[in-house]
Structure 1
Amino acid sequence: MRKLLYGMNLTLDGYIAAPGDDIGWGGSSDELFQWWLDQERAIGLFLYGRKLWEIMSSHWPTGDQQPGATPAQIEFARNWRDTPKVVFSSTTDKVDWNTRLVAGDAVAEITRLKAEDGGPMRVGGATLAGAAMRAGLIDEYAIVTHPVLVGGGTPFFTALDSWVNLNLVETRTFPGGVVLNRYETRR
């Protein structure tokens, strides 16, 4: 059975994007970017909602060809292209770069994918992750908190039907006061 991970950069007040889908607050040190790259290398399948897919697919297919790309950014782009991806959307009609599209029941498909053998899966996008949270499918949360308050926007966590008890498994501080807290779901 595969593990399902959910992790993103977020503001101290809990948002992954400020109003207007602004993610300009989330600057990344080389050390933090390298940590994300190391995490992504271990993923066997990325699961994206439409909005995050649009952000990722607008940059990473050619991220290794951008002027001034660092070795870590070059590796991230290559890993992103090579890793299988599933996009959950009823409005997107075309995907590329080792990706397939699912327009049906996301929770049923994620449940099916979790039951397969393979490397861990990472879910990205607040709406998709929220559905997986409410269904009790997420095994691990990586909360990378940046020292900024934006006052509103897209929250990392969604409303839940019941409590989810977690065990803290890692804490780490990055340059600029960015703090990682990684939790596993207690089952």
Structure 2
Amino acid sequence: MRTLTYGMNVSLDGYITAPGDDLGWSVPSDELFQWWSDRVAATGLALYGRRLWEAMSSHWPTADQQPGVTPGHVEYARRWRNMPKVVFSSTARPVDWNTRLVTGDAVTEITRLKAEDGGPMDVCGATLAAAAVRAGLVDEYTVVTHPVLVGGGTPFFTALDSWVNLNLVETRTFPDGVVLARYETRR
């Protein structure tokens, strides 16, 4: 059975984007970028909601071909393209780069994917993650907190029907005061 992790960069006040989908506050240090890149390399399957898929697929497929690209960005772009991905959307256009599109019920499909053999899965995007959290499918939360208050935007967590008890399993500090906290769901 696969494990499912929900992890993203988060502002101290709990948002993954600032108003207007602004991500300028979350530019990672080289060390944090490498950590995210290594995470992509270890992911067996990434599950994307439409909005985050559109943002990622508009940049990473050709990021390694841009002028002045760093070796780290070349590596991440290659890893991202090679990582198996599923996009959940009823409105997305055709997908590419080792990706398939699911237009049906996300919770049903995530449940099916979790039951398969394979490497760990990541759920990417707040709306898709919220459905997985409410259905009790998330096994681990990776919260990479940046020391900034953005005052609004897209929250990391949405309203829950019941508590989710967690165990802290890792903490790590990155440059610029960024703190990673990794929690497992207590079952």
TM-score (norm 1): 0.98
Q: Superposition pairs for residues 20-39 of structure 1, below 5 Å?
A: 20-39=20-39
Using the TM superposition, give the Cα deviation of residue 93 of structure 1 relative to its aligned residue in structure 2, in angstroms: 2.6
Find the aligned partners of 1:93 and 1:61 in 2 and give their Cα distance: 16
Which letter maps to 2:110? I
Find the aligned partners of 2:81 and 2:39 in 1 and give their Cα distance: 15
Question: Residue deviations 1:120-156, cap 9 Å, x none?
Answer: 0100000000000000000111100001101101000
Question: Residue deviations 1:5-36, cap 9 Å, x none?
Answer: 11000100000001111111111100000111
Structure 1 stretches of 4+ moved >3 Å: none
Q: What corresponds to 1:73 in structure 2?
A: 73
Q: Which moved more, 1:156-165 or 1:66-75?
A: 66-75
Question: Residue deviations 1:70-99, cap 9 Å, x none?
Answer: 222111100111111100001113111111
Find the aligned partners of 1:166 and 1:96 in 2 and give their Cα distance: 36
Q: What corresponds to 2:58 in structure 1?
A: 58
Question: Residue deviations 1:155-184, cap 9 Å, x none?
Answer: 001111111111101111111000000001
Percent identity between the two aligned chains: 79
Q: What corresponds to 1:100 in structure 2?
A: 100
Which letter maps to 1:185? T
Q: What corresponds to 1:176 in structure 2?
A: 176
Q: What corresponds to 2:11 in structure 1?
A: 11
Find the aligned partners of 1:19 and 1:133 in 2 and give their Cα distance: 23
Which letter maps to 2:66? Q
Using the TM superposition, give the Cα deviation of residue 68 of structure 1 relative to its aligned residue in structure 2, in angstroms: 2.1
Which letter maps to 2:72? A
2:157 paired with 1:157? yes
Q: What secondary structure does 2:55 align onto?
A: helix
Q: What secondary structure does 2:62 align onto?
A: helix
Q: What secondary structure does 1:59 align onto?
A: coil
Question: For structure 2, which runs of at least 5 residues remain unmatched after alignment?
Answer: none
TM-score (norm 2): 0.98
Question: For structure 1, which runs of at least 5 residues remain unmatched after alignment?
Answer: none
Find the aligned partners of 1:70 and 1:122 in 2 and give their Cα distance: 25
Q: What corresponds to 1:89 in structure 2?
A: 89
2:118 paired with 1:137? no
Find the aligned partners of 1:105 and 1:19 in 2 and give their Cα distance: 28
| Pairs aligned (count) | 187
Q: What secondary structure does 2:61 align onto?
A: helix
Using the TM superposition, give the Cα deviation of residue 107 of structure 1 relative to its aligned residue in structure 2, in angstroms: 0.2
